[in-house]
Amino acid sequence: MAFTVEEERSGRRGPEVPYIVRDAKGVILDLSCNVAADSEDKKSVEMPFDGWTSAAIIAWPAGCLNRVGVRIIVDGEQMIPRNTGWVALEDVTIDVAMIRRVEKNRLIEAEFKNNDMDNAHWISVLVAVSSIFPIWARVL
């Protein structure tokens, strides 16, 4: 049991800490892809440990003209977008909360669909995962 110096000197004791997080891990999974003109592609990675997804960051460069669709699938469930097949934007980066419990070795996938007949586009997709529940998500 640990106390602050002030608590030790005064004899007052603070509340007991309910638990200590041990072996907390967190990584950013890179699912970015250069999507060839008029094609579909997929990038996938296995969850490196039992844990949680917390957020996804997706960036579309200028010139996509809302023609390059992206969707993120976690352990067989489409997480982004939730209400349609694809999300396709232009010259923007979005950060989307994506809270889901995921077991080790389950797939996290990003699928891409480029409807631009003439140009390939690099779409950046990053997914944050950690071994503990993302504490900030409690306010959502």
Distances (CA, A) of 47 to 10, 77, 83, 129: 48, 14, 24, 8
b (16+ CB within 10 A) / e for 3-28: eeeeeeeeeeeeeeeeeeeeeeeeee
Structure confidence by residue, pLDDT tens digits, 83-122: 889 999 999 999 999 999 999 999 999 999 999 999 999 9
Read off the pLDDT of each residue in 29-47 and give the average, rounded to a whole number. 97
What pLDDT is recorded for position 17?
43
Structure confidence by residue, pLDDT tens digits, 11-29: 555 444 444 445 678 999 9
pTM of the model: 0.81
Mean per-residue pLDDT of the chain: 86
